[in-house]
Amino acid sequence: MSDLSPDLSPATVTVTGGRPPREPDAPLNVPISMASTYVAGGDTEYGRYGNPSWEAFEDVLGSLEGGRALAFSSGMAAVTTVLDLVGHGAKVVAPQHAYQGSIMSLADHEARGRLSAELVDIEDTAAVVAACADAALVWLETPTNPALELADIETIAAAAHEAGAYVVVDNTFATPLLQQPIALGADIVVHSATKYLSGHSDVLLGALVVDDDELYAVLKNRRSLTGSVPGTLEAWLALRGMRTLHLRVERAQANAQALLPRLREHPAVSEVRYPGFGAIVSIVLDGELAADLLVRKTSLWVHATSLGGVESTFERRRRWKTEARTIPEGLVRMSVGIEDADDLWADLSRALDQVVAHRPE
């Protein structure tokens, strides 16, 4: 794999990382290695322990986040592996608003007596710090899904470490281009690589990044034992997607910021939530019916539960029974894509106009 200079910009790393050595007639990309069994005597031995295609993806992501990356079969496989670090009966602090898979996994562990979970308002830093006192693991998501709240990673990480707790940050929404949690004190960074890293809505993949060799070895061993390894093709596609990560994030963020003032001025929208960076925007309409009407009346925007792809998608989050009751019924989470911003607004505004037209007298 490539030995990149630490002085390279993230945009350059996304393009140049994870490449084979430059030798005559060598391919520019690491080939897809469809192997389950390897000749004995090396470092890999068996397909559950490693694969050159995974390692190329891990090389790029680790360089971007400032640590060592491990790829997993899904974001939830990565989440579950982290929760396996928590001792029996120990406490996990987590946001009350977060990715539902993470919250449901915590609830499942708690129901089985594996651990206890304390859900907090992640923007109330003092309350989060107080909750860290007897925690074994502090789980942060910033911005949160779908409320788009921000956590003070540095302050919370310092308090958690004083209590002897691991600090985990889900960096899926921000991506390593906009936020590097390890530099702010996090021990583990989590990604649903399905989203922005892959970027084309065609890959199911997760990842963890750490900067501690001992912790890396523990997590890698857990991945091997549980078999939660990524598919070779998925890892290859994810790396190909990351080659344009900086361009996609730049364009999608610019589109989101172009839509913000228009959304704030539209009479159908009662609230616009935006953390100041990234391409996720949440808007609040006047209740469930208005939000459901909006997501049915567009032609460019796609009603879908995932995010971070090149296409613009949105979803009324409370359609899921497991979504937090503190999320408004009319909240629509919008993942702004890389289409033309004026086209996106024309499509969206027509649907919002219909929401206004169908308001009860």
220 part of the active site: no
46 part of the active site: no
Catalytic residue, candidates 68, 91, 114, 195: 195
- Which residues, other chains included, contact 215 with Cβ-Cβ below 8 Å and sequence gap of 6+? 187, 188
Map tokens 């397909």 to a residue. 47
Q: Would you call 315 helix, strand, or coil by DSSP?
A: strand
Catalytic residue, candidates 99, 196, 216, 274: 99
- Is the CB of residue 139 less than 8 Å from the CB of residue 94? yes
What residue spans of the chain are helical by DSSP H? 10-16, 52-65, 75-83, 100-111, 125-131, 153-162, 175-178, 213-226, 232-242, 245-265, 288-296, 341-357
Catalytic residue, candidates 59, 152, 170, 286: 170
**Nearest to 169, CA basis, from 207, 223, 212:** 207
Dihedral angle at the C-alpha atoms of 5, 236, 29, 218, nearest 10 degrees?
Answer: 40
- Is the CB of residue 204 less than 8 Å from the CB of residue 73? yes
**Nearest to 248, CA basis, from 194, 305, 164, 308:** 308
Looking at residue 318, the DSSP 8-state letter turns out to be G
Rounded Cα distance, 293 and 314, in Å: 12
Dihedral angle at the C-alpha atoms of 306, 309, 312, 314, nearest 10 degrees?
Answer: 10
CA atoms within a 13 Å half-sphere pointing along the CA-CB vector of 28: 5
99 part of the active site: yes
195 part of the active site: yes
CA angle at 187 for the pair 182 and 191, rounded to the nearest 5°: 70
- Is the CB of residue 223 less than 8 Å from the CB of residue 81? yes
Residues marked active site are found at: 48, 99, 170, 195
